[in-house]
Structure formats: structure tokens, C-alpha cells
Amino acid sequence: MHPNIGKSSRIDTLFNSNDNAFVVAFDHGILMGPIDGIKDIESSVSKVVQGRPDAIQVTPPIAKVVSENFLGRNSPSLIARLDTSNLWRSSPEPNSGYYTDLFSVKDAVRLNAQAVVTYLLVGFENDHDEAYNLKILSKIAHEAHDYGMPLIIEPLGIAKGYQAVRDKDVISLAVRMATEVGADLLKVDYTGDKSSFREILDSTTCPVMIRGGPKTKTLADSLQMVSDSLEMGANGIVFGRNIWQSDDPTKITKVYSDFVHNNIDLDEALKQLE
């Protein structure tokens, strides 16, 4: 028997029969405000859920607002965001920038979440901020273990001006730190090429899903990134803006799901969107 059957059961629920997961993230509002695509959060989530993703990622208060989407045998799983930062906010711009936890694993348990997600930010101007982030993650990791709740950590390198750093060595460092602090799953930036991304996967013992980041210039660019990452051994994707800022969120959700789970090729995926 697995030493933590609750955690194992929840992880199994997240992943499809081909061991890949397709998650759509809607937690951008607490970071960036009511940006295009999620101004009407209830409508946005409803459209995406019709496309059958494996899970929806939101903050606990928004989970309550859109709770009907998590009811029923074929409904998506809930992943609860527990923390936040103002590092990516454009207006008003942050001064020194902050990171803080907001919600607890217990909040997620009350919502019947299948996982919780947190940031690990590497590269703060003040080392004390990075230490605080690690201390919070350690607390959450212990609490998650006690409740049998999978912990997804999103390890990100940040640079002056708070831009995400996609340098292989920085990502590798952040990924290994997240693994050591107690992650069960990771949500990681794609490094831009298959060889360097394979090195990222080799630096952790955790299953890795890639994050979408900013909306790509073309759908083909986004799908190619997904294809390359899955080929190298990633276990799925966690996308947001590339889904709900599209012209047809329901249709594009179905296509990404087919792409992740049924191994359709790039040309077939693009044809489905014509």
C-alpha cells in the first residue's frame, strides 16, 4: 500500500489514462486583475469546461463562485491556488515586489480540491524574500502531506524588472529546489528547445507539466511547444491565456485535450480549428 493513499488517489484523478494532464489556469485575476478573457469569470470557466479539460486552476474564493462546474461524474478536477505575488502587475507597478501565502491546504480540502499549487520564485533582489518563499512552501508541503493533498510547485526564475527567466540553468536550479522542498508535481517553463528541456526533466524526480506563460504569437507556436515537451517526457500542460483569450475557448480546449491525450499531430490539430 502507498504510504499516502489519499495523495496517490488525487494524483491519479488528475491524470488521464495516458498519464498526461491538461489543466486550464484561471488564477490570473489575483495577479493581474480583470484582464481580457477572464473579466466575466463565470462565463469564461463555463466555456472552457465544455471542452473537457482534466482540471481547472483557481483561487478558493473563485472556486466557490464557479462551483457548479466541479459537480458531476465527468466534471474537471479542482486545483486551488494558495499564494500570490505582485511581480507581474503592470499598473500600479510594484515597488520592491512581494510574495505571500493567502490560503491553506485546509481551505482546499473543504472545496474537495484534487491538488494545491504554489510559486517558488528564484532571483528576488532581497535574499530574505526568497527565504520567506521557501519557508512558506515548507509549511504548505507539511500540511499537504498531512491531508493527503498533492502539492504542485511552480518554480520560476525572475530577473530585475520581474521578467520570467527561461535560462536552462536558472530553471534547473528552481526545479531542483522545488523538488527538495516537497513538491509532488511541477509546473515549469519550457526552455525553448528539446535538448535543454530534457535536462530540466532529468533534474527532478517529480512529474512535470509545462506552463503556458504569455499568449503565444500563433496557435502553431503553442502546439509545437506542447508537442516538443511531451516528446521529451513532460506529463501535460497548464495553460491559461492561450486558451481563454482565444476566439473560441470551447473549441480550442477540445483541440488541446485531443493533442495531449490522443497524440494527434500538429497538422490535424490545426485542421480541427479551421
Which residue type is seen at 101?
D
Note the pLDDT of residue 216: 82
Euclidean distance between CA atoms 267 and 163, whole angstroms: 32
- For 13, half-sphere exposure in the C-beta direction (CA atoms, 13 angstrom radius) is 21
Output Rg (C-alpha) for the chain, integer angstroms.
Answer: 17
Of the residues 39, 187, 217, 271, only one is catalytic, namely 187
Q: Which domain holds residue 147?
A: 5-272
- How many structural domains compose the chain? 1
Bridge partners for 120 per DSSP: 155
Q: What is the DSSP string of 142-176?
A: HHHHHHT--EEEEEEEE-TTSPEE--HHHHHHHHH
Note the pLDDT of residue 97: 84
Residue from 3, 83, 54 nearest 260 by CA: 54
Residue environment code for 128-160, b if the CB has 16+ CB neighbours within 10 A, otherwise e: ebbebbbebbeebbebbbebebbbbbbbbbbee
Note the pLDDT of residue 215: 77
Cell numbers at residue 153, please?
A: 510547485
Euclidean distance between CA atoms 73 and 176, whole angstroms: 36
Note the pLDDT of residue 159: 76
**Residue 64 known to be catalytic:** no
Euclidean distance between CA atoms 89 and 96, whole angstroms: 12
What pTM, to 2 d.p., does this model score?
0.95
Walk along the chain (274 residues) and give the pLDDT tens digit of each residue.
457 899 999 999 999 778 999 999 999 999 999 999 999 999 999 999 999 999 999 999 999 999 999 999 899 999 999 999 998 888 888 887 899 999 999 999 999 999 999 999 998 888 999 999 999 999 999 999 999 999 999 999 987 655 678 889 999 999 999 999 999 999 999 999 999 999 999 999 999 999 997 778 888 999 999 999 999 999 999 999 999 999 999 999 999 999 999 988 889 988 888 7
Note the pLDDT of residue 1: 42
Q: Check which CATH number belongs to the domain holding 235 and give it.
A: 3.20.20.70
